[in-house]
């Protein structure tokens, strides 16, 4: 199976566009079956790879492994998330052995969220406390067997994002540019410049330890990503830095993620989503496509990436719409359809059009 970090570096160097899809493991057998059907449908977009998360709180790890194996049987390249949550050393090493036996060669190494009911992350006995230790262990125990990806945080890690009032001073221009607002309380949050710079050095340590690619935490402000990439380059991080894009599929989901991740939403986006709080689902999805399309075009125009990593939330409608707007074609489709017009007549997300899923 291809090592995705090498493929991404090659495509970025050649200026070739690529996409990836991220899924999470459902909790029921019917949910897993539905996801496999969706993965099969979305395969037509020819993603460079698909990600499967390890499961919140360390749950669903077996399902993650099974989905990755099944994805590769479908002809997809799987990038398996692996976290430190509820993972003693023996369980972690068993997962690595199983991954190798099933032909999985790509891993996204993360600390993970605290287990359910635990506020602060605490490693289990013999487990690891952070992604850096996990990456070091992967390289020490398996050499170059796996292509390792790690996470980057354009606004700072959520654990480092605190109320701006705790700064004891006005925010700097750089702090203000990545600050967020809790829409329920009006409290402004920010990762201080000091902590942000420490986060950059920590990310460099993960890369130096063996991570060959970075996928970012979700963001909704394109300039935040551009600034982050430039800051990474300034401290010597040279590996690909892929934008992680959380599609807007529902108003409740959007506001939940803003609060959970302390993510910045530009004022215009915040106003538009507030106006859509009680709107019909189709209208929110249509807005999610239009916003996502603008964001993807801006990211590609920034020349900081040629790839787009879509966090699908196991929903394909919005991603499909964005890719249609981007005139996305797989290499095979483009080769056989080279002379076809890329003009889209009456795309479904324009006013007055009927969504295809109606």
Residues sharing a CB contact under 8 Å with residue 9, sequence separation 6 or more, in sequence order: 212, 213, 239, 240
Whether 238 is in a domain gets the answer: yes
CATH at 85 = 3.20.20.220
Confidence of residue 357 (pLDDT cuts 50, 70, 90): very low
Q: Who contacts 53 (Cβ-Cβ below 8 Å, separation ≥6)?
A: 22, 23, 24, 25, 64, 81
- Among residues 300, 298, 310, 319, the alpha carbon closest in space to that of 245 is found at 310
pLDDT at 7: 97
Domain that holds residue 100: 4-157+193-336
Is residue 177 assigned to a domain?
no
- What SS3 state is found at 59? coil
Catalytic-labelled residue, pool 22, 155, 175, 199 = 22
Concerning whether 22 is annotated as a catalytic residue, the answer is: yes
Please tell me the distance from the alpha carbon of residue 189 to that of residue 164, in angstroms, as a whole number: 5
Residue 170 lies in a domain: no
> Does the structure show a pLDDT above 50 at 191?
yes
What pLDDT was estimated at residue 130?
Answer: 92
Mean pLDDT computed over every residue of the chain: 90
Residue 138 resides in a domain:
yes
- Whether residue 180 is contained in a domain is answered as no
CB 313 within 8 A of CB 253: yes
Six token digits for residue 116: 């359910």
Q: Which of 180-194, 275-289, 331-345 has the least mean pLDDT?
A: 331-345
Residue 100 is predicted with a pLDDT of 96
Mean pLDDT of 134-157: 97
Whether residue 23 contacts residue 39, with contact meaning beta carbons closer than 8 Å, is answered with yes
How many other CB atoms sit within 10 Å of the CB of residue 40?
14
**How many residues make up the chain in this entry?**
358
In a domain, 356, yes or no: no
Which residue matches tokens 């125009």?
Answer: 301
Residue 243 forms part of a structural domain: yes
Bridge partners (DSSP) listed for residue 350: none
Residue 194 predicted with pLDDT over 70: yes
Count up the domains in the chain and report the number.
Answer: 1
Answer whether residue 10 is part of any domain. yes
Span 230-266, pLDDT tens digits: 999 999 999 999 999 999 999 999 999 999 999 999 9
Both tokens of residue 250? Answer: 């529902």
């Amino acid at each position: 199976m291809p090592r995705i970090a090498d493929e991404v570096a090659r495509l970025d160097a050649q200026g070739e566009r690529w996409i990836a899809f991220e899924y999470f493991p459902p909790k029921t057998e019917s949910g897993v079956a539905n996801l496999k059907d969706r993965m099969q449908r979305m395969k037509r977009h020819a993603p460079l790879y698909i990600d499967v998360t390890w499961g919140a709180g360390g749950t669903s790890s077996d399902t993650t492994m099974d989905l990755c194996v099944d994805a590769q049987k479908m002809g997809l390249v799987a990038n398996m998330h692996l976290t430190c949550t509820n993972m003693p050393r023996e369980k972690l090493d068993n997962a690595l052995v199983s991954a190798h036996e099933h032909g999985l060669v790509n891993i996204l190494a993360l600390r993970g969220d605290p287990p359910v009911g635990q506020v602060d992350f605490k490693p289990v006995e013999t487990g690891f406390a952070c992604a850096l230790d996990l990456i070091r262990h992967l390289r020490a125990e398996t050499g170059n067997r796996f292509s390792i990806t790690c996470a980057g945080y354009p606004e700072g890690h959520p654990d480092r994002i605190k109320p701006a009032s705790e700064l004891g001073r006005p925010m700097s221009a750089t702090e203000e540019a990545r600050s967020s607002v809790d829409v329920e309380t009006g409290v402004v949050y920010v990762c201080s410049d000091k902590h942000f710079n420490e986060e950059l050095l920590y990310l460099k340590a993960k890369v130096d330890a063996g991570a060959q690619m970075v996928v970012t935490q979700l963001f909704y402000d394109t300039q935040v990503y551009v600034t982050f990439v430039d800051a990474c380059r300034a401290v010597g991080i040279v590996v690909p830095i892929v934008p992680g894009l959380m599609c807007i599929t529902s108003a409740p989901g959007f506001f939940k993620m803003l609060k959970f991740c302390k993510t910045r939403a530009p004022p215009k986006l915040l106003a538009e989503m507030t106006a859509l709080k009680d709107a019909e689902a189709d209208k929110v999805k249509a807005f999610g496509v239009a916003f996502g399309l603008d964001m993807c075009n801006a990211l590609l125009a920034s020349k900081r990436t040629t790839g787009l990593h879509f966090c699908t939330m196991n929903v394909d409608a919005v991603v499909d719409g964005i890719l249609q707007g981007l005139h996305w074609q797989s290499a095979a489709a483009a080769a056989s359809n080279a002379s076809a017009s890329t003009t889209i007549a009456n795309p479904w997300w324009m006013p007055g059009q009927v969504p295809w899923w109606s």
